Amino acid sequence: MSAPDVIVGMSGGVDSSVAALLLRDAGVAVAGLFMQNWASDDSSDCRVEDDRRDAVAVSGRLGIPIHFRDFSSEYLEGVFKHFLAEYAAGRTPNPDVLCNREIKFKHFLDAARDLGAESIATGHYARVERRNGSWRLLRAVDTSKDQSYFLHQLGQSQLAATRFPLGGMLKSEVRRIAADAGLPTAAKKDSTGICFIGERDFRQFLSRYLPAQPGEIRDPTGRLLGEHGGVCYFTLGQREGLQLGGIRGREQAPWYVVGKDVARNILYVDQGIDSPWLQSTTLSSEDAHWIAGSAPSSRFSCTAQTRYRQQAEACDVMVRDDGTLDVRFSRSQRAVTPGQSLVLYDAEACLGGAVILSTDAPLESMQRGQAA
């Protein structure tokens, strides 16, 4: 059997199924590869075997070979341990970003090359373009499904060896193509939840690795309101799970997490989805990654997202000598969260991004002042 030109990451979902179909119909010598990246556990939500069967069924329907690789140890070391360390530190990590960099576009790419393929393909909604000798990562045509945010850590060598067959399509088209081709994944629900771990009761899952440490819930003035099960289980802007009932002297309105003091194990909350305690205008980041290999300039203007499915916001960026960023937004932003990813764009082109380190949100600024 001759080596394939392209190996598709077959997840058992409709998107990777159609990506493989489109490449096959374009005359590309294609094979599939199913990755297992999370060691099976006793959770009923673990869908690895179902996904594996669907990936095999789709490959059989398409008449393409399929390979299997177990990257669970690489996922544990390269993604999951970092994920736990960030939560333990009171930050909110984005494992999908790290999973793409460390697993899908590193170990999977290496495995594909070992099998003789020149490139890989996935069902991500994004586009790759070569312009003036450089590879660019572009937003997908279907802006509601665009996944360039999660791919901002890719570099030139990875983009040069990657195809995104769905980047120019609408999700509705993908479903239609799958149905017309009789693919068994045509109506399968899209996967959600933590990358490769899936949908679970998140707090229950996290408590397996980070035991609950109950502490106080206070408002920004310091008034004691209740008790939480552990600050690491909450993120800024979160409403669910606070279990705060009627509080004397306060109106009947939802409460939101507005700050965390990890050292003192205090969770701060306020009422109102747009509480001023959730607002910030500036942020600092860790060392930035640039898709082109370097920053556009030491100072420049662009747009940015601080979370997935957020409207891109205008900002000014200063690149420090150590590679970290200082960013100022044109208007205040809600619930910008340390540990999450800042992703920068020039129109539809993703420039790169960095992990958010700190912001000028009121409680965070006060805590820094007290620590100084």
Task: Report the chain's terminal Cα–Cα distance, integer Å.
Answer: 66
- Of residues 46, 195, 315, 350, which has the active-site annotation? 195
Active site includes 99?
yes
Catalytic residue among 99, 232, 302, 350: 99
Q: Are 26 and 34 in contact (CB under 8 A)?
A: no
> 133: phi > 0 → left, psi -120 to 50 → alpha, else beta; which?
left
Identify whether the C-beta of residue 258 lies closer than 8 Å to the C-beta of residue 277: yes
Alpha-carbon distance of 225 to 239, in angstroms, equals: 15
Q: Would you call 315 a catalytic residue per the annotation?
A: no
Strand partners, 255: 271
How far is 84 from 136, CA to CA, in rounded Å?
Answer: 32
Provide the 10 A C-beta neighbour count for residue 86: 20
CA nearest neighbour of 61 among 28, 18, 120: 18
Closest CA to 281 of 323, 250, 327: 327
Q: Which residues contact 261 (CB under 8 A, 6 or more apart)?
A: 231, 268, 367
Active site residues: 99, 195
